[in-house]
Amino acid sequence: MSLNIDNYRSRLEQFEEELNRQLYHFYAGFAPRLDLVRCYSNHSDIFSLDSIRDIESEYNNESFDSRRKSLRKIRDFLIDQHLDARLAPLAEETFDFEAQQRIVWEGQELSFLQASLFLKKESDGFKRRNLSERYARQIQKSESLRIESVLRLQSAASGLGFKHYAQARERIGGVEYRKLLDSLDAALQPLEDKYMERLRESFEISLGRPFQESGSWDIAYWEMMNDAGQVFSKDKLLPIVQATVLELGILPERPDSVSIDLDSREGKKAGKLCIPIRIPHEIKIVMLPENGAAQYGTLLHEIGHAYHFAWTSASLPVEHRIIGDRALSESYAFLLEHFIRDREWLARMLSFINSKEFLRFQALYRLFLIKRCAGRLRLSIDVFEREAFAGMPEIYSETMKSYTGLAHQPEFWIQDLADGYYSADYLRGWMCESMLREYLQTRFGNSWIMSRAAAGFLKEIWETGQLYRADELCREIGIGDLNPQALVDEIAEGLKS
């Protein structure tokens, strides 16, 4: 090859380590702020238009499929980071601005994070809505910065030869988003009446108010009221997750490759994430645990990401270790997260025998999350294909209510927009996970979690890192094209309970 591809590989790995180490220090509370601009500036030459054109030219002249795949992944990663680099200054400015905003509530000044926690625990429905309205007004103050980010993305995508950012994302993700969404919408349509019936019933029982008075401001409290927090105590969180991993037999060969940070410290963020600093050698999980099933699901989810990365073969080239389809790793994360919806696991690990109502809620809540992701993706497609933002807050409210059945405050449109294309990864990840779990149950039995053969199979596919896309993996192991049917069938069965 005439192009020094190994130099690109080395530089991309350096960039990923620098960026992810910075993210870890920030979210773990060891650094006061993110310095994205400096990180991208240090590597600006590899994300330049010239670099993208060089890789594109080499790709077009390459005849070997394996090399073409490598070059395509590197090219698409460069495009993705070229766009992110253009956003870095605005991303920093927006983050800093929103971090300084305060919501006055009952004599206190709350940050956005604190307001979210209050919404989760506030039992008075009128207060939840009032607090959410104040939150929305503060979010609206950063709307101009976020709109500027959208415009900058559109401009950068145009500079790369794309019609708009949506088209650029389709190139990067390798997904036809409208086709994905249309197929999911069609598959979910037969569940709509049952979903609305169950949603209305659950909200009214949980919140003690008429459903028509409910909205997105009630979601966190609704989840908390159905979370069986007395069973899922944070004191048992790590031991139960560790016992699950031991039972499954998937501990990484290098015990120190994955570290789990559950400690409280000043400055630590309340998010939960897996940060692969150096795949497969240094993977960090950062979390501030609380009581509740969601916390158990979250840690299992992040363990799924981490062990996928930790089992990745170190001999793979950079593009197959650190670059890939985000839906693939999401499917592994959802696979482990699903244990909180497994009746046998609940009984065995937590002595949670009478779990029928909990599992009934979990089926409903999972469908709600899927529909919310679908709504956000629909919004993103519409926004990035439009030439103007007029009417977008109202379109957002209508779109999200159409998908979820719940009223959404229009001011949040620009915030939810940021999650739109990540939502596509989650949707495809859920599809892949359902198909993969069905395969595991068929091949290794319903108790596959205790099967060493199943563990061996997982390690085998995890070793391939990010060589395959989610749809390619499904075909590779013989379960067909990626589609929503297994996911929808499973949810339909859960709604019947």
Please list, residue by residue across 114-130, b when 16 or more beta carbons sit within 10 angstroms of its beta carbon and e when fewer do: ebeebbbebeebeebbe
**Contact in structure between 290 and 234 (CB atoms under 8 Å):** yes
Q: Look at residue 477 and tell me if it is in a domain.
A: yes
Co-location of 109 and 241 in the same domain: no
Asked whether residue 106 falls in the same domain as residue 220, the answer is no
Q: How far is Cα 432 from Cα 332, in angstroms, rounded to an integer?
A: 9
Do 257 and 389 lie in one domain? The reply is yes
304 within 8 A of 296, measured Cβ to Cβ:
no
Four-point Cα dihedral 303, 305, 307, 312, nearest 10: -170
User: How confident is the prediction along the chain (497 residues), in pLDDT tens digits per residue?
Assistant: 457 899 999 999 999 999 999 999 999 999 999 999 999 999 999 999 999 999 999 999 999 999 999 999 999 999 999 999 999 999 999 989 988 999 999 999 999 888 998 999 999 999 999 999 999 999 999 999 999 999 999 999 999 999 999 999 999 999 999 999 999 999 999 999 999 999 999 999 999 999 999 999 999 999 999 998 889 999 999 999 999 999 999 999 988 999 999 999 988 887 789 999 999 999 999 999 889 999 999 999 999 999 999 999 999 999 999 999 999 999 999 999 999 999 999 999 999 999 999 999 999 999 999 999 999 999 999 888 876 788 899 999 999 999 999 999 999 998 888 777 999 999 999 999 999 999 999 999 999 999 999 999 999 999 999 999 999 999 999 999 999 999 999 999 999 87
Question: What per-residue confidence (pLDDT) applies to 42?
Answer: 94
Q: What is the dihedral of CA 249, 251, 253, 258, to 10 degrees?
A: 170
Instruction: Tell me, yes or no, whether 94 and 115 share the same domain.
Output: no
C-alpha–C-alpha distance, residues 450 and 458, integer Å = 13
Looking at the fold, whether 131 and 35 belong to one and the same domain comes out as no
Q: Choose one of 85, 110, 140: the last residue of a domain.
A: 140
Domain assignment present for 358: yes
- 451 and 395 co-located in one domain: yes
The CATH number of the domain where 195 resides is what?
1.10.1370.30
**Which 3 state secondary structure label does DSSP give 178?**
helix
Q: Tell whether 367 is covered by a domain.
A: yes
Q: Are residues 382 and 485 in the same domain?
A: yes
Those residues whose C-beta lies under 8 Å from the C-beta of residue 461, and which sit 6 or more positions away, are 473, 477
3-state secondary structure 401-463: HHHHCCECCHHHHHHHHCCHHHHHHHHHHHHHHHHHHHHHHHHHCCCHHHCHHHHHHHHHHHC
Number of domains making up the chain: 3
Q: Tell me if 14 is assigned to some domain.
A: yes
151 falls within a domain: no
Buried b (16+ CB within 10 A) or exposed e, 433-472: bbbbbebbeeebeeebbebeebbebbeebbbbbbbbbbbe
Residues 122 and 67 in one domain: no
Asked if residue 106 belongs to a domain, the reply is yes
Same domain assignment for residues 23 and 131: no
Distances in Å between the alpha carbon of 326 and those of 303, 350, 397, 466, 469?
15, 31, 28, 9, 8
Considering the domain architecture, whether residues 95 and 189 belong to the same structural domain is answered as: no
Paired tokens of 287:
């979390």
- Which residue range is the domain that position 382 belongs to? 184-496
Please check whether residues 202 and 114 belong to one and the same domain: no
165 domain-assigned: no
- The CA distance from 92 to 45, in Å, is 21
Are 399 and 273 part of one and the same domain?
yes
Residue 283 is given by DSSP the state E
The pair of structure tokens assigned to 263 is 């400690």
In a domain, residue 218? The reply is yes
Q: What is the pLDDT of residues 406-462, one digit of tens each?
A: 999 999 998 888 777 999 999 999 999 999 999 999 999 999 999 999 999 999 999
* pLDDT score recorded for residue 1: 41
Query: CA–CA separation, 20 vs 318, rounded Å?
Result: 15
Cβ neighbours, 10 Å, residue 43: 18
d(CA 194, CA 77): 41
